Structure 1
Amino acid sequence: MTPAPGTTNSSNNDERLKSFKNYTMVVYGLYALGLFLGGVPTVIGLIVAYLKRNEYSGTIYAEHMRFLIRTFWYGVLWSVVALILAMVYIGFIVMFAVGIWYIYRIVRGFLCLNDGKGIW
């Protein structure tokens, strides 16, 4: 594919990476919004992360998508454990810890993304 007149491959690549960054920011935003709206936006963010992760292969944005997908599934796992442990009242402490961990991962990931860094 040849670039349009007056453009270069570099500018096309820059726009492509900017688009990747924007999509990744939206997914982080959906995950954060899920804290306030019962998780539905988080599930939408998870779907977007799964759809975009292969397209982002070889970029820092693929790391971010993998990080977000893992955040979701580990969050679900530990929330289920917390619900089971709620029968003996320790589950509330575990659920609180899961919430703090989730917020930390979203904030850390967004800050790394904003600085143009990979997550690891």
Structure 2
Amino acid sequence: MSDNLQNDNVVIESPEPVDTTLPMVIYALYLASIVTGGLTALVGVVIAYVYRGKGPEWLDQHYRYQVRTFWIGLLYFCLSGVLMFVLIGFVLWLVAVVWLVIRCVKGFKGLQEKRSPENVDTWLV
């Protein structure tokens, strides 16, 4: 009978609050990469790879989004660098910068709302 009493008085603990500081730092590193020529983005993607899969589902989606942002951004910036010889690369570089800023802002917003970013698999924004 005492077992039933103990089972009826089970206290359900709320899950621990999730620390979103590291993903925010990664987004900030990506934004800083515009000025540093991509060096801080390299640090950010390494951090994202290390911490991917070690949190709740919505936070793991942010790490996945950050890894995809790095690789797709690398492709866009390399393509714009090659096309600078024909002068269209300058416009494409500016478009790539705007693309990066929009993705980082969307990521920041998702972190503040404690949800995964929208359209994680997209190549656009």
What's the TM-score, normalizing by structure 2?
A: 0.77
Count of residue correspondences:
108
Distance 1:83 1:38, change over 3 A: closer
Inter-partner Cα distance in structure 1 for 2:37 and 2:93: 15
Inter-partner Cα distance in structure 1 for 2:46 and 2:12: 30
Which of 11, 14, 34 is the equivalent residue of 2:16? 14
1:82-101 matches, within 5 Å, as: 82-101=80-99
Instruction: Give structure 1 stretches of 5+ with no counterpart.
Output: 1-7
Inter-partner Cα distance in structure 2 for 1:28 and 1:9: 34
Instruction: Give structure 2 stretches of 5+ with no counterpart.
Output: 1-10, 119-125
Aligned 8 A contact 2:33 2:41 in 1: yes
Distance 1:89 1:22, change over 3 A: same
Shift of 1:90: 0.8
Shift of 1:34: 2.1
Aligned 8 A contact 2:73 2:96 in 1: yes
Inter-partner Cα distance in structure 1 for 2:47 and 2:13: 26
RMSD: 1.8
- Summarize deviations over 1:53-83 as a string: whole Å, max 9, x none: 1213x52111111111111111110111111
* Residue 83 (structure 2) pairs with residue 67 (structure 1): no
User: Which structure has the larger Rg over C-alpha atoms?
Assistant: 2
Inter-partner Cα distance in structure 1 for 2:77 and 2:40: 17
Partner of 1:28: 27
Shift of 1:117: 1.7
Partner of 2:121: none
Shift of 1:10: 3.5
Inter-partner Cα distance in structure 2 for 1:67 and 1:61: 10
Inter-partner Cα distance in structure 2 for 1:43 and 1:55: 20
Percentage identity across paired residues of the two chains: 29
Aligned 8 A contact 2:31 2:100 in 1: no
Shift of 1:99: 0.5
